[in-house]
Structures are given as C-alpha cells and as structure tokens.
Structure 1
Amino acid sequence: MHPAALVGAAAGRMAHFAVSGVIGGLIFRGAAKAAPTVKPAARKALVGSLAGGIVAGRWLGSAAEEARLKAGDMLAEARSSLGEEAPPPSAVSVDGHDHDHEH
C-alpha cells in the first residue's frame, strides 16, 4: 500500500473519531440537562424492561424444563423398546453420603 494512502486512511479515521466524539459529547450534554425531567419516565421504562426480562427468563426456564421432560420420556420409551429398564428421572447418585438425617 502506498504511504500516502496510509496517511489518508489514518487522517480519515482521526476525523471520524473526532466528529463522533463531538457528537457524542453533545448528546451526552443534552441528556444530562434533560435528565431531571426524564428521570421518572426513564426509570419506569427500565423497570418495565427488567420485568419483561424476568418474565421471559421464567418462560424460557419453563420451556427448557418441559423439553427436558419430553426428551426423558422419549429416551425411556426408546430404552423400553430395546428391552432395557429406564432409570427413574429422580435417580441421582450421591457419593459419600452415608449418614441418616433429613435434608
């Protein structure tokens, strides 16, 4: 690449960053001045979006659990069709837990 092209590219980038910085600073300054009047609405929007995220997370968790149970049912059915006994879904191996007490 020609040295003049490198200098031109560098100058173009620097100009881009300078303009972006100035515009970003103006936007930030305007937002800071408007913050006292916008704050309740922004807070309400943020709380609403967080609540929506929580609901979506719960829905995704529920869908994942339902898919896991359906996959387990199909796996058990496949094992039974091969003549194997499928372990119960709650069969959990806990090594080194020999004492008796309620959990």
Structure 2
Amino acid sequence: MSRRKEKENELLSFLNEEERKAYEEFEAKLKAKRDVAVKRQKQEMAFWKKVDEREEEVYQHILENRKKRQVEQSVQVQSVNPIEQNAGNVATYYSEQNNG
C-alpha cells in the first residue's frame, strides 16, 4: 500500500460515517477534475505533436498569413495618408486665408 493511501486510511479512521462520506465525495470530485485535466493535457500534447510533424507546412502557412496581413496593413496606411494629406492642405489653406 502506498504511503499516501496509508495516511488517508489513518485519517478516515478518525472520521465518523458522515464525515467519511463527505470526504469520499470530495475526493471523487477532485479525481474527476484531475481526469479532465489529464485528458485535456493529452489532447494538447497530441495537437502539438501533429504540428511538429507538419512543421514545414505550418511554417509556410504562417508566412503566407503574415504576408497577407502586411499587404492589408500597407493598403490601409496608403488609404489613410491621402486623407491626412487633404486635412493638412485644408489647414494650410485656412491659415493662408486668415494670415493673408
């Protein structure tokens, strides 16, 4: 018997029936949560293993998406610049009108 199990049995010997039942229910809930966490961890490990196996394909996909985002961002910046330029022209025009 494991040392943990021995200590648990020693603890249970001091508890009355109601306390023992509550403790066992609590332990069952904890075990269920641990089981879910272990399952999730195994799924995550399996996912990253697949990613590692397809490393070159994943890397290419990331590069393609990065290039698309960069192109989209440069298009947005180019479309904003004429607006800023027009705003600057308007400000210059009004300052010339007021000063001239």
Q: TM-score, normalization: structure 2?
A: 0.51
Q: In the alignment, is residue 73 of structure 1 matched against residue 73 of structure 2?
A: no
Structure 1 residues without counterparts, runs of 5 or longer:
1-10, 86-103
CA distance in 1, matches of 2:88, 2:81: 10
- Aligned residue pair count: 69
Structure 2 residues without counterparts, runs of 5 or longer:
1-28
For residue 36 of structure 1, report the CA deviation from its aligned partner: 4.1
Change (3 A) 1:78 1:46: same
Change (3 A) 1:69 1:47: same
Q: In the alignment, is residue 35 of structure 1 matched against residue 51 of structure 2?
A: yes
CA distance in 1, matches of 2:39, 2:60: 27
Change (3 A) 1:72 1:18: farther
RMSD over aligned CA atoms reads: 2.7
Bigger share in helix: 2
Change (3 A) 1:18 1:46: same
Q: TM-score, normalization: structure 1?
A: 0.50
> Greater relative contact order (Cα 8 A, min sep 6): structure 1 or 2?
1
Q: In the alignment, is residue 22 of structure 1 matched against residue 38 of structure 2?
A: yes
CA distance in 2, matches of 1:75, 1:23: 63
